Structure 1
Amino acid sequence: MEITTVTTFIPYYDKIRERTKRLLAVVPPDSLDWAYMPGKFTIGDEIRHIAAIERYMFAETIAGRPSSYSGCGKALADGYEAVMAYFDEKHEESMAIFRALSDEDLQRKCTTPGNATMPIWKWMRAMVEHEIHHRAQLYIYLNMIGVKTPPMFGLSAEEVAGYGKG
């Protein structure tokens, strides 16, 4: 999918973020430090990572600046309220950068931290894929600790299958 206009990308990305926010709404505040094994991202790290990488890697390179992403540890935000506020704040900062783009800017080349050069629209698509990837990890993490997670599109797979049995 090629992203051709900013005005179509913004509402699309808003819907992606809404799905992520629905999932974050069920994160138990006392589970932010849980990880499935030592040395792996915690639930809080995953949330901070989505926020920090969007703002400091994707948005910075889209704005023509080098990535300034430096990790996703507790120094960025610690505790449930702080982590959720950080998540929203970094997203709003990123969205201001994206809203300032023109449709022509989407064809402009940016340089990724891996030194690849690509049109901004492709880098924006990679950003969306990145968020979806980490959201999926959060679904798994939350299921592992017994949290009932919201269905992605309104119905669970079991509910959809039940409709077919009439």
Structure 2
Amino acid sequence: MHTSSLQQNILAELDHELATTRKLLALVPYEHADYQPHPKSMKLGKLAAHIVNLLAFKQLFVQHPSRDFLDPNGPKPGPSPTSSEELLARFEEYSASLRAALQESDDEKLTENFRLHRGEQTLMAFPKATAIRIMGLNHSIHHRGQLSVYLRLLDIPIPAMYGPSADEPAW
């Protein structure tokens, strides 16, 4: 019986989710970057950028023991992309960087703790692999779901993700 490592499982899940995410990001119409379906909703361009920037956040979980949101020297997202080309270029760069960080890691490192905090207030403390799944993958999937709704409301056909969609009924 072959057993795969924690690292291999995360990489396989990441690869699957990245492929699906890229399909949706490629559909973002930047002429509608200011579109928001509700006054409390993020604008389309900001939502798409957030999904991409979360890739750098996931890399932080892999490479560091903590992140303090009050640290003025902490990593910050870059400027918002202004075109589909910029968005996809950043997606490719951040995806490759995250994959490389995971490949350089190992199961032992992924079981070390990661703490997300604001000064003394702990927002989240989990083993790195758990943090990657909860605040990384699950968080991204949540926002990708929002993006699919925005695209649907703009009458943009939605690709199959975990199964057929109304617009792509067969794989």
- Residue of structure 1 in register with 2:115 after alignment: 111
Equivalences, count: 155
Q: In the TM superposition, what whole-angstrom CA distance separates every residue of 1:122-151 from its partner, at most 9, and x where no partner exists?
A: 101111101110110001101111111112
- Residue of structure 1 in register with 2:96 after alignment: 92
Cα 1:155–1:58 change in 2 (3 A) is closer
- Residue of structure 2 in register with 1:123 after alignment: 131
The one-letter code of the counterpart of 2:12 is P
Q: Whose helix fraction is larger, Structure 1's or Structure 2's?
A: 1
1:138 and 2:139 are equivalent in the alignment: no
Q: Distance in 2 between matches of 1:89 and 1:113?
A: 27
The Cα shift of 1:69 comes to 5.0
Of 57-66 and 16-25, the range deviating more from structure 2: 57-66
Cα 1:105–1:26 change in 2 (3 A) is same
1:79 and 2:83 are equivalent in the alignment: yes
RMSD of the alignment, in Å?
2.6
Structure 2 residues not aligned, in runs of 5+: 69-73
- Residue of structure 2 in register with 1:9 after alignment: 10
Structure 1 residues not aligned, in runs of 5+: 161-166
Q: Is the 8 A contact 1:59 1:94 kept in 2?
A: yes
- Residue of structure 2 in register with 1:164 after alignment: none
Q: In the TM superposition, what whole-angstrom CA distance separates every residue of 1:24-54 from its partner, at most 9, and x where no partner exists?
A: 2322342233222456422221121112122
**TM-score for both structures, normalised by structure 1:** 0.79
Q: Distance in 2 between matches of 1:43 and 1:150?
A: 18
Q: Hey, which bits of structure 1, 4+ residues long, moved more than 3 A?
A: 37-40, 67-72, 157-160
Q: Whose strand fraction is larger, Structure 1's or Structure 2's?
A: 2
Q: In the TM superposition, what whole-angstrom CA distance separates every residue of 1:47-91 from its partner, at most 9, and x where no partner exists?
A: 211121220x3321331153645457xx24222211221122122
